[in-house]
Amino acid sequence: MKRLWLAVLVLSLVACSSEEHSDIKQWMRDATKDMRGHVPPLPEVKPFPVVSYDPGDLPDPFRPSKIEPQKKAGGGGVKPDLDRRKEELERYPLDAIRFVGLIRDAKLLYAVVTADKRIYRVKIGNHMGQDFGMVTDIQTSPGLDEGKLVLKELVQDPSGDWVERESVLEMQVQGEQK
């Protein structure tokens, strides 16, 4: 069986060696007989000048180091109370909280807010939002159909200091989305 396969292979190789394209091969030989390739010489390599490196007080370029901004002394003095127990509305970002109404008690004015399909009553001093926000003012109109909820939030600036930011939630009337 092996001899049969060997004979078939030899016959197929002999069949491929025929002078079928001899005219094309002759034309290629005639067209390229005067052609000679020319490779230009390599350019002269110029030596680079030697420059000495004196590191002095510079950091070692081969040792990894972390680049940190310089810390200021003092830090501004404003910091959130991280040991304080968080209130329910501090789980939600401010854009997920809607200010929908007001309730006036004999002594206090409350704001009614909704978050995650639940209703909450908020007064001045309550905390809400994820940036340590504290309600500082509840502003109303005479008819209690307009109002603003003013918050003081604490956020970190790029240097790591805590800064105060004021945010305002406006009352949203039924059917109105802001």
**CA atoms within a 13 Å half-sphere pointing along the CA-CB vector of 139:** 9
Phi, psi dihedral angles at 67 (to 5 degrees) = -90, 120
> What pLDDT sits at residue 97?
94
By three-state DSSP, how is residue 128 classified? strand
Q: Which residues, given as ranges, of the chain have pLDDT below 70?
A: 14-19, 65-76, 143-145, 174-178
Tokens encoding 31: 């067209």
Cα–Cα distance measured from residue 30 to residue 39, given in angstroms and rounded to the nearest whole number: 23
Tokens encoding 122: 């908020």
First to last CA, the chain: 87
| Distant-in-sequence, close-in-space partners of 87: CB < 8 Å, separation ≥ 6 | 126, 127, 128
Domain 88-170 has CATH 1.10.3720.10: no
> What pLDDT sits at residue 57?
80
> What pLDDT sits at residue 158?
81
Tokens encoding 176: 């109105």
pLDDT tens column, 99-140? 998 888 888 889 999 999 999 999 999 999 999 999 999 988
Tokens encoding 69: 């901004």
Phi, psi dihedral angles at 110 (to 5 degrees) = -110, 145
> What pLDDT sits at residue 82?
87
